[in-house]
Amino acid sequence: MPGPGSDVEIEQDAPLKPYTTFKIGGPARYLCVVTTPPQARDALNLARSQALPVFVLGGGSNILVSDAGFGGLVLHPAHAGIDSSGPEGAGGPGVRLRINAGEPWDRVVGYTVDHGWWGVENLSHIPGQSGAALVQNIGAYGQQMSDVFEQAEVLPVSGGELQTLAAAECDLGYRRSIFNSTRRGEFLIWSVALRVSTVPHPHLGYRDVQAYFAERGNSEPSQREIREAIVQIRDRKFPYPREERRGNAGSFFKNPTLSPAGWQSLETRVRTRFGEAAHARLAELRPRFDTGFAKLPAALLIDICGLKGFEAGRAQVNPSQPLVILNQGGATARDVLRVAGHVRRTVHAETGVTLELEPELVGFSAEDVDRYIGLK
């Protein structure tokens, strides 16, 4: 345990369910909520002394915790705060923000809109903390974290002091960064620095956003109106996880990337297996593949395969947005993976496309994962 003089508190056999937006999951062997780097270092020293695995749990919005929980140390950063008085201040067209990792992401977006600073308004209403937003390189409606990200302060899990990683070192891509890929588990993100703009630059190209403002006859919405539109659009598609019933982790499947040849094969299979009506829906996306590889909406494939509303136990494919798997109240992690596995196997068998999971699976063995979501 931490040595004399330490103010860190470590809870044993702590339930993780309340810390996740899915409202699912068993206990952690140890849980430590930290607000200062010394507290984090003390907790990590404990983990190293007992050879315990470490998992950093932010807002819990992009994870599924196993029913057995996590047999190591769960570190939960709870330090919030936004500082817009960075070394370059607010001069010129850009404003530099330093955001503590425990700051709720949507509060960051609200803060920028309140000040008229552009760059993240389309990322409104995404649950979770700011540190976790970097891990996943969150994106929505034409914007993503990487558009505004400059650097991060991180604490090595293996020991040492805070260090700074520049944007290039974090290698942000589609729903990825070094923190969930090549250097997974090596760092606790302590803060992120973003560069937002004082120059208006609205992103209104997505179909849902266009339709929203067309219905209202508004061709030049304000930044605040854009944020309000995104909130309403997301509420229709992605039930905001405020309680156990309808708890979720947002998009459960990534949008697959296809080559032109892969696209042609998919068109042929959909026409053969589902008929002309389904093929016509798919064919609207054909121009995306005229110049090479492109992303395909996973939701469309799930819908074409008739999987909206599919249930296993108390988990269900969202009937309105099939990228989302819902906790209908009392669902287990096993229920969720049974739904996910059925979706993956059905889509693969019917279309030839393999869907990858977006949330991180915590506390599961490789055998568990293969049993529930494997394609065989």
Q: Which residues are catalytic?
A: 175, 251, 358
CA dist., res. 39 & res. 42, Å (int): 5
Instruction: Note whether 80 and 100 are within 8 A (CB).
Output: yes
Residue 63, classed as helix, strand or coil, is strand
Q: What angle do CA 81, 85, 86 make, to 5 degrees?
A: 95
Q: How many CB atoms lie within 10 A of CB 111?
A: 17
Q: Which residues contact 334 (CB under 8 A, 6 or more apart)?
A: 67, 313, 372
Q: How many CB atoms lie within 10 A of CB 127?
A: 22
Look-up: residue for tokens 């269900």?
Answer: 316
Instruction: Note whether 116 and 43 are within 8 A (CB).
Output: no
CA dist., res. 288 & res. 267, Å (int): 13
Q: What angle do CA 106, 162, 46 make, to 5 degrees?
A: 95
CA distances from 349 to 188, 296, 313, 326 (A): 39, 17, 23, 23
Please choose, from the candidates 153, 154, 145, the residue with its C-alpha nearest in 3D space to the C-alpha of residue 109.
145
Strands (E) in 104-186, as ranges, are 139-140, 143-144, 149-156, 163-166
Instruction: Note whether 296 and 256 are within 8 A (CB).
Output: yes
